[in-house]
Amino acid sequence: MRQVGFVFFLLVLFSCQKTSPSLCDSDKELKDIASFPIGTTEDDVVANWTTAIGGKYFNRITSENVLKMDRLAQSPDSFDFFPLAKMSREANNAGYEALHVHTVIWHKQLPQWISNYPSQELDDVLTRYCREYAKAISQTELIRITGIDVVNEALNEDGTYRNNLWFQSMGRNYILKAFREFSSLDPNFKLFYNDFNLALNPIKLDAALDLCDWLRSQGVRVDGIGTQMHINIHEPSANDLAQAFEKIISRGYEVHVSELDISINPYNKIEASSDKLLQQQAEKFHEVFRLYSELPKKYQYGITLWGIGDGDSWIPTEFKRFDAPLVFDQNYSKKPAYCSCLRALEK
């Protein structure tokens, strides 16, 4: 009798110890299931790369901050690309297969010296910086670099050119000059124009496409468009997303969903998340992944999430509000959004 009792006790014990079921139906990870690269960023948050965790879920990493001009251009004539070498080694160690370079020419995160630099001499700085950047990329061996955001955010919402310091010096030719320096690289390094609100604002998307067509007409290479995709649970609609993707590919450009995060608090009205909001967020992530996965393969450069855990997102710091826009929570546990992305790709 005692033995029967012991066996019963063991049975109860084992059934209690059964590992808690995974939140997702599938035990596979995003990178294992996707037919296109799945990217993330973690360079600033996990500054000590030995703790990098994304290689388990993602197969490509984008440089969130370490390859911006303020980190690489110490003075007008000394550029140091050591951060690229360091990142490529450490991303490889962390299990990533590929690296996307973000971003060469932008109007933010510039070195301090540039604000006092004579405008008429910026032309020369831009050319030399891009030339050396391209060389450093072509010499990177420790990880496969698949693409480069050559120019970031050159347009206003009304489709006009942003009046940044590059534009003030060279007009729109600064964009052409930058792409020209990268155009002779091996075509396996895809060249991107990257900007935000493209799925929300058709005027801006049309302007981006016209800009890229103009660049091509000038004989430089532009392979694709990065649609940053800092969006929220309310918009853009599935229809807007589908139309934006369709428009980009119909003009012959690859699509990179390059900085995906989906805000649950775009109007700064709440201070915590709820099951309902997480569900709405999961549905919007599902839409993005489903619509993207339906594009012809040759236009799919991949989807990149702008960070891993909610605690690492740039949004709360940048916009000074509570948010939880990513697919892992603060403790790097999977959120419903992670599972919905998986489900969107499983079909």
Chain contacts with ligand XIL (rule: CB under 6 A): 44, 64-65, 103, 152, 228, 259, 314
- Residue 31, amino acid: K
By beta-carbon proximity to ligand XIL, the closer residue of 64 and 254 is 64
CB of 228 to ligand XIL, least distance (A): 6
Give the single-character DSSP code of 66.
T
Signed CA dihedral, 58, 62, 65, 67: sign only: positive
Q: Which amino acid is at 177?
A: K
Q: How far is the CB of 45 from ligand XIL (least distance, A)?
A: 8
- Cβ atoms of 224 and 190 within 8 Å: the answer is yes
Per the CB < 8 A criterion, the answer to whether 323 and 263 are in contact is: yes
CA distance 190 to 96: 18
Contact between 290 and 261 under an 8 Å Cβ cutoff? The reply is no
Q: Least separation, in Å, of the C-beta of 311 and ligand XIL?
A: 13
Residue nearer to ligand XIL on the CB measure, 152 or 227: 152
Nearest to 244 by CA among 233, 232, 259, 257: 257
The tally of CA atoms less than 13 A away on the side-chain side of residue 147 is 29
Nearer to ligand XIL, 153 or 287 (CB): 153
Which residue's CB is nearer to ligand XIL, number 152 or number 169?
152
Q: Which residue is nearest to ligand XIL (CB)?
A: 314
Residue 64 or 181 with smaller CB distance to ligand XIL? 64
Sign (positive or negative) of CA dihedral 224, 225, 228, 233: negative
Q: What is the closest distance, in whole angstroms, from the C-beta atom of residue 231 to ligand XIL in the complex? A: 12
CB of 91 to ligand XIL, least distance (A): 17
| CB 233 to ligand XIL: min, Å | 19
* The two structure tokens encoding residue 154: 């050159």
* Local structure of 230: helix, strand or coil: strand
Shorter beta-carbon distance to ligand XIL: residue 259 or 287? 259
**Comparison of 70 and 80: residue with beta carbon closer to ligand XIL:** 70
Q: How far is the CB of 23 from ligand XIL (least distance, A)?
A: 26
Task: Supply 202's token pair.
Answer: 């058709």
In whole angstroms, give the CA distance from residue 347 to residue 342.
Answer: 9
Side chain identity at residue 221, one-letter code = R
